[in-house]
Every structure is written in structure tokens, then in C-alpha cells.
Amino acid sequence: MSRIEFKNICKRYAPHLPMTIHNANLTIEHGEFCVFVGPSGCGKSTLLRMVAGLEDISSGELLIGGQRVNDLPPAQRGVAMVFQSYALYPHMTVGENMAFGLRVLGANKAEIDSKVKEAAEILQLTPLLDRLPKALSGGQRQRVAIGRAIVKQPKVFLFDEPLSNLDAALRVQTRLEIAKLHKDMGSASMIYVTHDQVEAMTLANKIVLLHTGALIQERGSVAQVGSPMNLYHRPASLFVAEFIGSPKMNLLQGTLQSAEAAHATVNVGGQTLTVAVDARHLKAGEAVQVGIRPEHIPLDQEGASVGAGTAVAASLQHIERLGDSSLLYVQIPGQPIATVKVEGSAALAAGSALTLRLQPDQMHLFDSQGIACHRTVELPE
């Protein structure tokens, strides 16, 4: 079993420094693909390195397969780590690089050869086994680094931003290979660190989003844990809502008018919006923010609104055409610029007047502390 449990884990690098990880409580199930994501500096690598045994744990307990591993040396934890920098030995061939860890452990040659052969097959490195790293592309080097982890047959694979040094096309290809590797490895758990929400959304069964709040007590704490669709559809806070999804969720400033079990009404610039959330715990008159994603404001390519919802007037400031879709930057009076994503190439000119239809079940509501109200419409998980 390779279940990993964090119990009240805290990390402080030095007594005079603020806490880097605050009270992490998490369980990563056997065979799960868990992604730690968050802005740079939020503590993702610190959390991962504590699992690897490369960083001391200041307080709390870390369990792997039910065993407390706080004081267990890295080599005895059954984990293998792949870093952003491939860190291959330049004078060794691909095969020798992959075999090195096993040789150090004293495995016999036949066993090493068979494991290296198997890993090379999985990673399509067989024709490259005799090459030196300098004769490989970045993507191939990273595959060798992954191969080095596979031959150890770990219970847990740890990846720290393994794709960050690759160009965009290779990142997508290697991302697919890592997803396939997780399928092929069946029983192994994976923890994958990235600052890229697209990698998190596409690879994870479970996302752990870490905070870098302005508040010091928020930094290095877990903002939300859940499936990718859960974080997308049901962000627990403004921080999560703005981090997950691209382009970012739009936010409209308003005040709460009334709240019932199934919906709330919000005054946004003198207009009443109905939002399908339960906000009965908030007071009428409280400052709130209404969130709506760019892809959830239905407009056609001519800018005509599609479907029902409250009509809100806006003027088009700027268009970005991406080929498959267009991003409209629109001004709703008294609000920050909002983004609307429409399919195809929008046939519109800056300055056009638009009517946006805001649908109750596509909106989110956040209180003055940035905490989300519970949505009252079922959404896919």
C-alpha cells in the first residue's frame, strides 16, 4: 500500500523565518495522481521534499503505507523523485544513467539489465540506450530522468515541475506520456508539483491547491483539495476561483439584496442579478462579489446573446482572436474589465454595444472575506 498521509505537518526553515507550511492535513490514496499546485513560492517543493525525505519535518506526522516515515532516510521510503533539472551524469550513456541507482544499491547485472530494458521500452528509449545525454533533446533527457525513477520500482513517484524546462509542444507530449505512465504503473501513487493550472487540471485525480495569501497565516496552507472539476465548478474561495481556469473568472462588485435557500439576489451597479447559491448566512447589504467565467457568458460570433439570464449592458473594448475562439474584453459600467470567450472568430469591432446574459447557475458568489457560498445547482464532478 502506498497511501500517503500528512497529519498536521508544519515546516519552518529557521526560527526567525515565517512558517512555510501551515498545518497540512492530506491523504493521497494508493494509486492516485495527486498534483500540488499554486503560485511560485507557496511551498509546493517543500511539501514534496518532505515526502522524499530531503527536508526535515518541523512538526506533525508523515505516513507512507501506514508507517511513520518522519525519521526514515530517503532511500528507505520507497519513493523516487524526478526534478525539473534532469541532473543526468554527462559521461554516462542513457542506459548507464538509468542503471546507476540500482548499481549503487548492489543489484546484480541481470536484474539491472532487465529493469533498464523494461523502463526503456515504456519510455521509448530503447534505440537511445547507448547515447550520451548531450546527444539527446530536452524531452528525451527528461524521459531518461523518469526512467531512472521507474527502474527503482518505487511505491510513490515524486515529480517537481518536470516539464518546466521543455518548450510548449514538448510539454504537451511529455504530459501525455506521464499520464500514460501513471496508467501503466497501476499501483504506484504519484505526487506532481507544478505552478501550471493546466498541468494540474489535465493530470490530476486530486488537486491540492496551496495558498500564497497576503495574510501571513494563509501562506503555505491548503486552499482546497478536490478533483479538477470540483475546483473548477465549486471553488471554495476567491483565491481558488481565480487560480483555476484560464482566462480568469470575472468578478463583479455588488451588495447582497436577499437570500433564500435556492438563490440569492445581488445588486450590481443598480441591477439585480439572481445567483443560484445559498447565502442565507450573510446579511443583506453586505459587500459581495459575483464571479462568472469567460466561457460561461454565452454570446455568438456576432455578439448576440444566446439563452436566458439577466441582461447586462457592456461595451466592447478590445478583441483577441485565437482562431478557434475569441476573447472579448468588455466594460460593464462601474466594474473592472471583464472577459468573454466566444467560439470562432468574432465579427465585432471595438466600441460595439453588447448585451451579456448572466445565468443564475453559472455564477458564483463570494462574501466580503472571499469565501464562496454553496452552489445550489448540481454540476458535473
Q: What CA–CA distance (Å, rounded) separates 348 from 312?
A: 18
For helices 94-104 and 109-122, angle between their N-to-C axes, nearest 10 degrees: 130
Question: CA-to-CA distance for 83 and 213, rounded, in angstroms?
Answer: 26
Q: Which does 108 bind (CB under 5 to 8 A by kind): ligand ADP, Mg ion, none?
A: none
Contact region with Mg ion (CB under 5 A), list: 38-46, 252-260, 312-320, 340-348: 38-46
Task: Please pick, from the candidates 15, 16, 40, 380, the single residue that binds ligand ADP as defined by CB under 6 A.
Answer: 40
Q: How far is the CB of 200 from Mg ion (least distance, A)?
A: 14
**Could you say which of ligand ADP, Mg ion, none residue 329 binds, taking C-beta under 5 to 8 angstroms by partner kind?**
none
Distance CA 22, CA 7 (A): 11
Our finding on whether 45 is near Mg ion (CB under 5 A) is yes
Q: Please tell me the distance from the alpha carbon of residue 340 to that of residue 299, in angstroms, as a whole number.
A: 8
Question: For ligand ADP, which is the closer residue by CB, 56 or 61?
Answer: 56
Q: Which stretch binds ligand ADP (CB under 6 A): 34-42, 182-190, 234-242, 253-261?
A: 34-42
CB 253 within 8 A of CB 263: no
- Considering only the stretches 43-51, 111-119, 143-151, 306-314, report the one whose residues sit in contact with Mg ion under the rule CB under 5 A: 43-51
Closer residue to ligand ADP, CB minimum distance, 4 or 94:
4
Q: How many CB atoms lie within 10 A of CB 369?
A: 7
For Mg ion, which is the closer residue by CB, 193 or 273? 193
Judge whether 146 and 123 are in contact, CB under 8 Å.
Answer: yes
| Region of 44-52, 317-325, 330-338, 356-364 interacting with Mg ion (CB under 5 A) | 44-52
Q: Which of 2, 45, 250, 289 binds ligand ADP (CB under 6 A)?
A: 45
For ligand ADP, which residue of 9, 19, 37, 43 counts as binding (CB under 6 A)? Answer: 43
CA 232 to chain centre: 10
DSSP string computed for 148-213:
HHHTT--SEEEEESTTTTS-HHHHHHHHHHHHHHHHHHTT-EEEEEES-HHHHHHH-SEEEEEP--
Kindly state the smallest distance separating residue 44's Cβ from Mg ion, in Å. 5
Task: In angstroms, give the least distance from the CB of 158 to Mg ion.
Answer: 12
Can you spell out the DSSP letters for 7-31?
EEEEE-SSTTSPPSEEEEEEEE-TT
By the criterion CB under 6 A, which residues form the site for ligand ADP?
13, 17, 20, 38, 40-46
By the criterion CB under 5 A, which residues form the site for Mg ion?
45
